Structures are given as structure tokens and as C-alpha cells.
Structure 1
Amino acid sequence: MITVENVSKSFWSRTGNVVALDNVSLDVTAGAALGVVGPADSGKSTLARCVSLQERPDTGVVRLDGLNTATLDTRRLRATRRQIGFVTGETQLFKQRTAAGNIALPLEQSGVDGPSRRTRVGRLLDLIGMTDKAAVYPDDLTDGQRRRVAIARALVGEPAVLLADDPTADLDTDGTAGVLAVLDRARAELGVTLLVATQDNSVVRRICDDVALLDAGRLVEHGNLFELLRSPDSRALDALLPAIDGNAGLPGCGQDRVADVVLVGFAAVGALLPEAASRFGVQVSVLGGGLTRLGETPVARFRIGLKGERTDGTLAWMADRGAIVHQPLAGPQGVAA
């Protein structure tokens, strides 16, 4: 469990004091994956560095499994840092070392014997899908492969927590997919708690359970992705779900009722709208939105138009079967579930 309690952090710059974090509090359950999102300079990287103990907060406390890290002396702080893996988008591998040699370096520095080193490195090469690249030097690897080696090096000490600061920065589609697969496997197979600071919403959609939105150093929103789906005002989910044209379904569009609906799961996405139209004898048209996935779960956000005498009943029936209905936009007062 990671607990951040009222953490604030400021830095001095040529323009004066910059508040990077402003009284931020959140929890990350053991084994969970939290995506920390927000615009540039919102405090994401600073939060990652404070949680990984690379930075000390000015005020507030970071607790790891109840341990107050603010009370640690230098020796205990170093020991606690070894329980935390930290990787950034700025991969820094040693060019004179092979992929396996880079992964093994922290073990060598800790005095781990050769057979144990080889066993751990072999397991991590398998985890990152690069067993065949063990003897390859960084200059002969792709950007995505180098990033995967850096993640393996961060995991070689068997940390309980992995902090990834912008891990897919500047990678192409294949490189990004490879890095996300590794992070997902690390969590599933090694049981690490994962905190990912990113500006890439696809990272959160692909591997995270929870999301925290920062803006100007303040925590704006924090919660489970599927629970936030039910909040029509969720800024984080608004960015993660398919966009809807604000002009879609304006008065005069020829519909008796217009509403936004969120459908979760294969059955709802595939069948709920046509079944509702057939059951209530109404015409249901998709005016905007689209389909995405949160993890392996399909999620659709649509703006729909309904024509017919039983539009209210149609929306209520859909809500009873798990659809999340928001923002009746035209016609009589509708249902919000």
C-alpha cells in the first residue's frame, strides 16, 4: 500500500517559487496500477519522484506499507529505495554493456553471486520478451527494446513497487505496445504495485485500474476507472473515453430525445441499443461517440437520438440493464442513472 498524505513540494526557478505539488493525498492499493495524468507541468513527475523517494516532500508524508518515510535516516532511506523500482522515459543504459549486463548491474553492485544474478536476469529477459537479445548492445536495440531493458533493470532487485515516469515517451506504436505489455506482465507475474505518470491516455486505458488527475500541482480527481464512468463530470474519464462532437444532437436535429450513454462489456456494447429499439418500438440513432477498451473490457460512449412514443421508458430500461445514461439534451426531462 502506498499512502500519500498532504504532500506539497516547491522548487525555485528564475521566475520565482514554483509549486509542483499542493497538498496531494491519495492511496494506491497493493498490487494495483495507478495512472497519474494531467497536462504538462501538472506535478506528475514530481509525485512519482516523491513516492519513489528520489525527492523529499516539503510537507506531508509518503508511507509505504505504513512506514513513514519522512522519519528514515540516510541508511534506512537507501534500504527502502531498494524496495522501489524507478524508470523514466529517458533510457540511460551503459553502451559498453549488453542487455543482460545492464540488467545485472544493480545485482553486481549489491554483491549478489554470479549464479543468482544469471537466474534473475534470465527470468527478466523472458519477462520482457528479449531472451534472444541478451548479448546485444544498446546501440543495436530499438528505442522500445532499450526501454524494456531499463524496466527489467528496475525490477531486478525484486521491488514491491514500480514507478514509471512517462515510460512510453517518444516511442512508436510497436515500442509503446511492447513497454505496456512488460508493465502489465510485471504487475501480473511479479505482483508489483504500479504507479505510472503519463500524458498518454492510451497507457491508462491499457494497464491501469485507477486514475489520478493532477492540474497545477493539485489533485483534481482520483478513483477507479469503472466507478468514475458513472460520473458525468469526470474530467479524467472524459479524456479517456471517445470524444463526442458538442454539436451532435442539438435542438432541431429531428429527435424526440437525445442522451449520452456509456455501455460497458461485450454484451452491452454489442446488443443493448438494438434490443432497446426493438423492445420499445423506437428508432435509436448513434449521433456521435465511439468504442474503446479499458484493459480488456470494451467500453462505448455514444450520443444517441431516440424517436418514438416510449423514449423515456427506453432510457430507463437501458439504465436498469447497466447502461450509464447522462445528460438528457432535448425533449422532456429524462432519466439519469
Structure 2
Amino acid sequence: MITVENLTKSFQGIPVLNGVSLDVQSGSVLGVVGPSGAGKSTLARCVALLERPDSGAIRVDGTDLTALGGTALRNARRQIGVVPQGDSLLRQRTAAGNIALPLESAGVPGPQRRSRVGELLDLVGLTDKAGSYPDQLSGGQRQRIAVARALAAGPSVLLADEPTSALDPETTGSVLTVLDRARAELGVTVLVVTHDMAVVRKICDDVAVLEEGRVVENGKLLDLIGDSNSRTASALLPAVDLNPVNESNFDRVADVVLVGFAAVGALLPEASHRFGVEVNLLGGGLTRLAETPVARFRLGITGERADSALEWISEAGGVVRRTLKGPQGVAA
């Protein structure tokens, strides 16, 4: 759906994007994360051609937007909805009027326009706020109306730049639910720029980590969390080393990542039963990535077949890293 190839962008001779390449699959949600100044917002603006990159290609459905101009570029931009950072609603227009604005600009007739606005108000759960002005809405409601406005023209791509900044956790959840519904019900591909890993945890399928204008980590979320060296795993998974452990009390000590209902609920008891070992939870915990339960535990295993138990957990889909020093301190 979206392919970014070797994108570069500088401002006043200072590089902001330095050879960025990404692929975003159709119907997925990509989270672009990284520290302040990493180039996240510039990347989003370049993908929407609100900023022209210095070099590189931006392909949406196979069309290189950087090669377009005039009418062709305007038509292509209609396929990209943008939710800007911050409060962007027009104060003199109602919620419905703000959503209708891009439809008016496109010359959509009144009856069709009103029907589309009604559909989008329902999507974002604010049908009862149609006649309210922005100053009569909460910050989360204003942001949901901004999402509806970005979806008004029926884009295939939605870019959201820090859509939950300065919102409380409950309000953040309502905005993220709207973005997830846009993907699930409208088939929109979503690129969300954020500094908040809770956004990634809630709705993202894929993650790209930017640092100083470069992509330093990129991939499917559920793949990245299985990599013990992954920044994404470090940020999202429960910590395992909260309490000091005397590893000599166990035959083997290992960190294990388990993904999915079956793995989280059954693998460890089954390993204990199968191999006649005692499995102790020394640290870690459970979390959720979207609707998928994920666990990271530090295990202390006692029994003659401790190695066999760990190998079986690995073969059954768990990610195992042994933490004892010496020859045991390798990934299974």
C-alpha cells in the first residue's frame, strides 16, 4: 500500500530524514515512534506530500507521489487523510460542519454530504454532538471529529500525527478505538506518529523506530517482541529483573516470551508435567498487544530434564533465552 524508498529531507542544511525506507501493508496500522526530533512528523508530512522530500520515492498503491504535479497530485492526495498534530478544528463551524468541509471543497452535493457526515459521526461515536461547536467539546471529542474529517473524502490512507498528545488515558483510549474502527470497518491503512508506546500496544500491527532521521528498527510487532535486543520489546514487555535472584537455587534460569492465549495459559504447566520439572516464576508479568495476550517471565527450573523442558517450550513457539553464565547462557 505505502512504500517509502530512501527518503531524505533537510531543513536549512540540517538533515531530518536520512535514507528512510518503509513498507506499510494494506489495511494495517504502522506506529512510527522515536524520541523528539527523530523526524517522525516530517516523515508523515512527506508521505502526505505536505512537505516535498529532497530525494527518494513515496508510492501509494504503486503510484510515486513525488513524480506527480498539478491535477494528478491533487487527485492522489485525496487518497490520503491527515489528522494534524494539535487542535485543528475551525471554531466557527459545528462538529458536523468541520467534517463536511473537505466534502464541500470537493463539490459533493448536499444530500450526499449530509449522509456521509452522519455515517462518520456514528463511526466516531458523536452523533449527539453534530451541532456542537469545538469549544463545547472535550479535547478527546475534538480529536475524534478531526479523525472523522480526515476520513470524509474516503481516503485509503490515514496519517495521524501524535493523535493522543495531551490526552488522559481514558480519552486516549476513545481516540485509538476510532482509529482502529477506521482500519477494521473502512479498510483504511493507518500510519500513526507517536511518542507514546501505549498507542503501539493498543492498535499497531507494525512498528518503525526512528532515531536521528534513520530507521533503527522496523517490523511486525509480534516478531519484534521476541527479540531480546529489540527496543520495542524493552518498551512494551513487562520487566523481568525487578528482584535479585540466587540463580544457584535452580538447575536452569531463563527468560521466556509467550504470545497468544494458548501459549500464555498452557505452555508452562504442560512443560512441568511433561518433563517432571518444577517451574518457578521469578519475575515478569502479562500484558496485551491489541487483543493478543503476551507474557515475559523469568523462570527458575529445577529437575534433571530442565534443558529438555526449555527446548520443548521453544519448539512450541515460546522465545527462550537462558540467563545462566557459561554455555547455558545462549538462546534456545
Q: TM-score, normalised by structure 2?
A: 0.95
Match of 1:121 in 2: 117
Match of 1:4 in 2: 4
Match of 2:199 in 1: 203
Determine whether 1:167 maps to 2:163.
yes
Determine whether 1:281 maps to 2:273.
no
In structure 2, the gaps of 5 or more residues are none
Following TM superposition, by how much is the alpha carbon of 1:336 offset from its aligned partner in structure 2, in angstroms? 2.8
Distance 2:165 2:88 in 1: 14
Following TM superposition, by how much is the alpha carbon of 1:335 offset from its aligned partner in structure 2, in angstroms? 6.5
Determine whether 1:70 maps to 2:66.
yes
Match of 2:190 among 176, 189, 194: 194
Tell me, what secondary structure is at the counterpart of 1:167? Answer: coil
Distance 2:322 2:276 in 1: 22
Whether contact under 8 Å (1:166, 1:196) holds in the other structure is: yes
Tell me, what secondary structure is at the counterpart of 1:104? Answer: helix
Tell me, what secondary structure is at the counterpart of 1:305? Answer: strand
Following TM superposition, by how much is the alpha carbon of 1:117 offset from its aligned partner in structure 2, in angstroms? 0.5
In structure 1, the gaps of 5 or more residues are none
Read off the aligned partner of 2:233 and give its amino acid letter: L
Q: Go from structure 1 to structure 2 and tell me whether the alpha carbon gap of 1:119 and 1:330 turns closer, same or farther (over 3 Å shift).
A: same
Distance 2:142 2:234 in 1: 33
Read off the aligned partner of 1:272 and give its amino acid letter: L
Following TM superposition, by how much is the alpha carbon of 1:32 offset from its aligned partner in structure 2, in angstroms? 1.4
Distance 1:129 1:250 in 2: 53
Read off the aligned partner of 1:288 and give its amino acid letter: G
Match of 2:52 among 56, 59, 70: 56
Read off the aligned partner of 2:76 and give its amino acid letter: T
Determine whether 1:267 maps to 2:262.
yes
Match of 2:287 in 1: 292
Q: Go from structure 1 to structure 2 and tell me whether the alpha carbon gap of 1:309 and 1:332 turns closer, same or farther (over 3 Å shift).
A: farther
CA RMSD of aligned residues (A): 1.7
Identity %: 63
Aligned length: 332
Whether contact under 8 Å (2:247, 2:300) holds in the other structure is: no
Correspondence list, 1:170-181, <5 A: 170-181=166-177
Correspondence list, 1:10-49, <5 A: 10-12=10-12, 17-49=13-45
Read off the aligned partner of 2:273 and give its amino acid letter: S
Read off the aligned partner of 2:6 and give its amino acid letter: N
Match of 2:315 among 306, 320, 324: 320
Tell me, what secondary structure is at the counterpart of 2:324? Answer: strand
Read off the aligned partner of 2:250 and give its amino acid letter: Q
* Larger deviation, residues 306-315 vs 212-221: 306-315
- Encode CA deviations 1:156-202: one digit per residue, 9 max, x unaligned: 01001000111110101121011000000000111111101111111
Read off the aligned partner of 1:197 and give its amino acid letter: V
Q: Go from structure 1 to structure 2 and tell me whether the alpha carbon gap of 1:250 and 1:86 turns closer, same or farther (over 3 Å shift).
A: farther
Q: TM-score, normalised by structure 1?
A: 0.94
Distance 1:109 1:119 in 2: 16
